[in-house]
Chain A
Amino acid sequence: MTDRISNKKNITLSIIAIIVMLAAIYVLDIVIKPTSSWSNLMTCLEKGTIYALVAVSMNLLNGFTGLFSLGQAGFMLIGAYAYAIFAIAPEDRATVYQYYEGGGLIHFSLPHMLQDMMGGADAFGGTIGYYLGIILLMIFAGLITAVIAFLIGIPVLRLKSDYLAIATLGFAEIIRSFFQWEGLGPVTNGSNVLRKFASYDSSIFPVLVAGICVAFIVLLINSSYGRAFKSIRDDEIAAEAMGVNLFKHKELSFVISSFFAGVGGALLAMFQNNINAAPFTSNMTYEILLIVVIGGIGSITGSIIGAYLFVCCSEWWLRGLDAGEFLGIEADFMSPGFRKVVFAVVIMCIVLFYSRGIMGTNEFSWSGLFNFFKTLPKRIAAVPGKIKAKFSNKKHKKHTENVKEAQ
Chain B
Amino acid sequence: MKKKIALLLALVMIFSVFAVGCGGGDEGGDYAGTVKIGVFEPASGDNGAGGKQETLGIQYANYMTPEVEINGELYKVELEIVDNESDNAKGITAASNLVSSGVSVVLGSYGSAVSIAAGEVFKEAGVPAIGVTCTNPQVTAGNDVYFRICFLDPFQGTVLANYAWENGATKAYCLSKLGDDYSVGLVNYFVQAFKALGGEVVEEQFPNQNADFTSYVANAKSNGCDVFFAPVSTEAAALIIDQAAAQDLGMPMLAGDTWDSNVITGAAQGKDVEVVVTTFYQEGGNPEFDNGIKAWMEADSKMLENNGGNTDLAAVTAMGYDAYYVALEAIKTAGSTDVADVLAAIPDTTYEGVCGQVVFGENGDAVRDTAYVKKCNTETGAWEFVAAQSIK
Contacts and interface: CB of A to CB of B under 8 A. Distances in A.
A272 B19 contact: no
26 contacts: A33-B125, A34-B96, A34-B99, A34-B100, A35-B126, A37-B19, A37-B23, A37-B100, A39-B100, A43-B93, A43-B97, A47-B93, A95-B138, A95-B142, A182-B205, A191-B184, A193-B117, A193-B181, A272-B88, A273-B121, A276-B113, A279-B88, A312-B15, A317-B19, A368-B2, A380-B6
Contacts of A316: 19, 97
B102 A37 contact: yes
Interface string A80-101: 0000000000001001001100
A355 interface: no
Interface in B274-317: none
Interface string A159-190: 00000000000000000010010100000001
A35 B125 contact: yes
Contacts of A191: 178-180, 184, 205
A359 B3 CA distance: 11
A278 B8 contact: no
Nearest to A317: B15
Interface string A288-328: 00000000000000000100010010011101101101010
Interface of B: 1-6, 8, 15, 18-20, 22-23, 43-44, 81, 83, 87-90, 92-93, 96-97, 99-102, 113, 116-117, 120-121, 124-127, 138, 141-142, 178-181, 184-185, 188, 205, 207-208, 339
Contacts of B22: 320, 325
Given A372-B2, A379-B2, A40 B97 contact: yes
The 4 closest A-B pairs by CB, nearest first: A34-B125, A191-B178, A191-B179, A37-B23
A359 B100 contact: no
B179 A277 contact: yes
Given A40-B100, A278-B179, A322 B83 contact: yes
Interface residues of A, number: 57
Given A192-B179, A376-B6, A336 B44 contact: yes
Contact of A180 (B101, B126, B207, B339): B207
Contacts of A274: 88, 92, 116-117, 120
A33 B93 CA distance: 15
B302 to A, nearest CB: 9
A279 B184 contact: no
Q: Is the interface of B mostly helix, strand, loop or mixed?
A: helix
B184 A192 contact: yes
A290 to B, nearest CB: 16
A37 B101 contact: yes
Contacts of A323: 81
A55 to B, nearest CB: 17
A400 interface: no
A300 to B, nearest CB: 15
A379 B5 CA distance: 13
Interface in A362-391: 362, 368, 371-372, 375-376, 379-380
A361 to B, nearest CB: 10
A272 B92 contact: yes
Nearest to A359: B1
Contact of B89 (A272, A317, A360, A371): A272
Contact of B88 (A47, A278, A315, A327): A278
A277 B178 CA distance: 9
Contact of B100 (A38, A177, A271, A336): A38
Contacts of A315: 93, 97
A358 B6 CA distance: 11
A34 B258 CA distance: 32
B85 to A, nearest CB: 9
B120 A43 contact: no
Contact of A273 (B18, B120, B138): B120
A33 B124 CA distance: 10
Contacts of B1: 359-360, 362
Nearest to A96: B138
Contacts of B138: 95, 98
A119 interface: no
Contacts of A276: 88, 113, 179
A193 B88 contact: yes
B99 to A, nearest CB: 5
Contacts of B184: 99, 190-192
B179 A193 contact: yes
A43 B90 CA distance: 12
Contacts of B23: 37
A102 interface: no
Nearest to B14: A327
Given A98-B138, A99-B188, A272 B100 contact: no
Contacts of A196: 142
Contacts of B92: 271-274
B20 A195 contact: no
A37 B43 CA distance: 23
Contacts of A376: 2, 6
A192 B96 contact: no
A336 B83 contact: yes
A360 B3 CA distance: 13
